[in-house]
Amino acid sequence: MGASTVSAYAQLQVQARVQYSRLLTPQRLQELMQVENFAALLSSLLDTAYAPYLEKVDRSLLTPRRVVYQLRCRLAASYEKLIKFTPDPGHQLLMQLWSLYEVDNLKATLRGIEHQSSWEQVLYLLSPGEKYWTVTFDKLQDMMRSDDIATALEVLRGTLYYEPLAHALNRYQDEESLFPLEAALDLDYYRELWKSMQQLTGNDRQQALRLIGPVIDKDNLLGAIRYRIYHRMSTQEIINYTLPFGYRVQDAHIRAIAAGEDIGAVVRGIYPRLLLAAVDFEAAPGLALRALEVELNRQIVRRCRIVFRGAPFHIGLPVAYLLLHEHEIENLTALIEAKDSRLPLEMIKSVVDFMPLDSQLERS
């Protein structure tokens, strides 16, 4: 490891570790899970690192949707801070990772136009933090003002998203479904993410592959299975809507699923050590998919936790922290929705998959 690598990552790893230490502790997670209702959950959250973001909004305005939006503000702040401190080409990778939320915002806006929703209805479904994005909230608002999707896409002219969306527009107009637009955005996003990872070298590349590779694997594999089970797509369609690259999920696996081979066998072939013996993709596809998703998420979280025990001077540290933070927010979102719907604790436990950090378990 060169001195330049150490000096480039010194500040970044301090930042990542400081942020990592501010993720929720097991005790706090348990407390959040146990609270009576949404109001109590909100009060508990006001005692966490999310407080500054929640306090920016008058309490009476903190609806579940708005709370999730404010939680995401912290994620946006984390991304912005770490992107700022990360040297190239890691900088590009984090930017690409962060642009997933820009893509999600675009999708939410397109749905808003399709359903003729108002900007106010769409706004808090979006992810905040437009600092490094080309599609700002102003642009999204301009899109919302359009009468139809075709006019809305004109607002995106000059951005990276225009070409794939404009080309997919004919299909949207033929099929009257947003699926072709959303799938085009997703495929384009993952290709760019993969390219960003390929631009890294040495330990950085290895770490990025170990952490982001499984995320791509998860989405690709689950996507292929869903396309086959729920959308009843042809072999050719499944292949065309999925990716030929991944960390453990290879093109051959996707092609096997697309060709109609036994999904359970393919999944066990990819992950021989995964505890999925009881699940049956043919008989109970919903349960099987959920179990697979939970297991793959846990695997990602475990990988992220391991990074904080090893050598610190690489891109893995910020990436791992950001993925853990995203996982925490996803779980908090599920918890907020569950508490708002007054679901019983047992049911909440089945939807929320908290994975406390090793260091925090030690502290507890």
**In this complex, which beta carbon is closest to other proteins, that of residue 85 or of residue 189?**
189
**In this complex, which beta carbon is closest to other proteins, that of residue 12 or of residue 155?**
155
Per CB under 8 A, the segment of 107-115, 237-245, 322-330, 333-341 that binds other proteins is 237-245
**Residue 231 interacts with other proteins (CB under 8 A)?**
no
CB 169 within 8 A of CB 160: no
Tokens found for residue 91:
């900088």
CB 270 within 8 A of CB 295: no
**Residue 122 interacts with other proteins (CB under 8 A)?**
no
Per CB under 8 A, the segment of 40-48, 92-100, 180-188, 346-354 that binds other proteins is 180-188
CB 249 within 8 A of CB 264: no
Per CB under 8 A, the segment of 17-25, 161-169, 286-294, 321-329 that binds other proteins is 161-169
CA 271 distance to own-chain centroid: 21
Distance CA 34, CA 141 (A): 39
Among 31, 80, 237, 340, binds other proteins (CB under 8 A): 237
**In this complex, which beta carbon is closest to other proteins, that of residue 141 or of residue 203?**
141
**Residue 187 interacts with other proteins (CB under 8 A)?**
yes
Distance CA 275, CA 284 (A): 16
Q: Helices 316-340 and 38-45 sit at what angle, rounded to 10 degrees?
A: 150
**Interface pattern 241-270 for other proteins (x via CB under 8 A):** x--x------x---x--x------------
Burial class (CB in 10 A: 0-12, 13-18, 19+), 278: exposed
Tokens found for residue 74:
């912290």
Among 191, 226, 290, 298, binds other proteins (CB under 8 A): 191
CB atoms within 10 A of CB 59: 11
Q: What residues have CB less than 8 Å from 86, skipping those under 6 apart?
A: 12, 94, 315, 318
Helix %, strand %, coil % for the chain, to 5? 70, 0, 30
**In this complex, which beta carbon is closest to other proteins, that of residue 114 or of residue 192?**
192
Shortest approach of other proteins to residue 95 CB, angstroms? 20
**Residue 239 interacts with other proteins (CB under 8 A)?**
yes
# residues contacting other proteins (CB under 8 A): 29
**In this complex, which beta carbon is closest to other proteins, that of residue 229 or of residue 306?**
229
Report phi then psi at 155, rounded to 5: -60, -30
Per CB under 8 A, the segment of 19-27, 125-133, 239-247, 354-362 that binds other proteins is 239-247
Distance CA 360, CA 23 (A): 9
Task: Count how many Cα atoms sit within 13 Å of the Cα of residue 53 in the half-sphere of its side chain.
Answer: 20
**In this complex, which beta carbon is closest to other proteins, that of residue 151 or of residue 341?**
151
Per CB under 8 A, the segment of 47-55, 122-130, 227-235, 301-309 that binds other proteins is 227-235
Site residues for other proteins, 132-151, by CB under 8 A, read: 138, 141-142, 145
Give SS3 for 124: coil
Per CB under 8 A, the segment of 40-48, 85-93, 162-170, 323-331 that binds other proteins is 162-170
**In this complex, which beta carbon is closest to other proteins, that of residue 174 or of residue 346?**
174
Among 188, 330, 337, 353, binds other proteins (CB under 8 A): 188
What is the Rg, in whole angstroms, of the alpha carbon atoms belonging to the chain?
A: 21
Which residues of this chain interact with other proteins, rule CB under 8 A? 138, 141-142, 145, 154-155, 163-164, 167-168, 170-171, 180, 184, 187-188, 191, 233-237, 239-241, 244, 251, 255, 258
